[in-house]
Amino acid sequence: MAEVCLVVDDAMSVAPDAEVHQYALSCGGSAANFACCGSALGMSVELMSQMGDDSVTPMLSADLSAFDVGVRFVRRHAGPNSVCVIVIGPDGERRFMSHRGPESTEGPHDLRTLDGIDWVHVSGFVFQREVSAQRVWSLIQHARTSGLTISLDPSPMMTPYVKDVNPALLSHVDYLFPNAFEARALTGLQDPEQAAERLLEMGAAFVALTQGADGVLLRGPTIDQQLPAAPQPRVQDSTGAGDAFAAGFVAATRQGADPVDAARTGTLAAAAVIARVGGHSGAVDLQGR
């Protein structure tokens, strides 16, 4: 996904005209953010996504190549790429205006090609459309029966899918990484601790509920702990913070870290990403850690 990042005085302003103090054309999307951060942290990552054939395609391809992200599951299609305009306020908070490109007309992936993969991380944005939701649900079921670990970074826009179409989804998830807004959307509960508990009741095996500057709440069968956010005095753009946290958590867990240490690694990764404008521009600062 291409990102157009605009830094303004008030990200939530409804004024018909606004001055832009800084802008950046960058690469992003939740799955790509996770993949690039994860690769920078030393994981071997394959991205399962799709890419159009418009003027930003070379930039998107070069970005994945620069972070050594595998693309054997990336499908090409005719038409525009997905794009998101991100309006960023002085505190780093933002709002999104997204256009999702057309779905690939190809059939589902041959899931036998997942040989050699031990962890599947899913972006919740895929559940916004019926075709992609069906494909990813098949992937999750295959991963579960194959003994792979599954993590999910939900989207508030997937709430109707979880509630009305597939209530069993979260019971297939080993690690759930919602932010506070997403947890409220999925559960209807305002209190983060109650929301985390409800997500466990809905089937998730473990919940790491991120709360921005307030840190992360860890909930599971044997853990109930609040960790502070890693210090970052220079917040430029909070886009991709959750993706970076998830990448750090997964990378550390795969190296044998317990959930607390994995979450600490996640907060450090998030702190690096929010210091730059763009969903994973800060991933370059994770390389070699």
Q: Encode pLDDT of 130-175 as tens digits.
A: 888 998 999 999 999 999 999 999 998 899 999 999 999 999 999 9
Reported as a single tens digit per residue, the pLDDT across 194-230 is 999 999 999 999 999 999 999 999 999 999 999 999 9
Q: Mean pLDDT, the chain, as a whole number?
A: 91
pLDDT in the model for residue 288: 65
pLDDT in the model for residue 27: 92
pLDDT in the model for residue 114: 79
Is beta strand 46-51 parallel, antiparallel or unpaired with respect to 83-88? unpaired
Reported as a single tens digit per residue, the pLDDT across 81-103 is 999 998 988 887 788 888 887 66
**Phi, psi at residue 7, to the nearest 5°?**
-95, 120
Looking up tokens 């080993």 gives: 174
Position 16 confidence tier, pLDDT thresholds 50, 70, 90: confident
pLDDT at 112 over 80: no
Position 237 confidence tier, pLDDT thresholds 50, 70, 90: confident
Buried b (16+ CB within 10 A) or exposed e, 82-103: bbbebbbbeebebeeeeebbee
Q: How far is CA 272 from the centre of its chain?
A: 15
- What's the whole-number mean pLDDT along residues 98-127? 79
Instruction: Report whether 79 contacts 102 (CB < 8 A).
Output: yes
Count of domains forming the chain: 1
Say which residue, 91 or 64, is predicted with more confidence.
64
- Tokens representing 37 are 């951060």
Say which residue, 234 or 211, is predicted with more confidence.
211
Q: Which domain holds residue 91?
A: 2-286
Give the domain CATH number at 104: 3.40.1190.20
Among the residues of the chain, which ranges form H helices?
30-40, 57-66, 130-145, 159-160, 180-187, 192-201, 241-254, 259-273
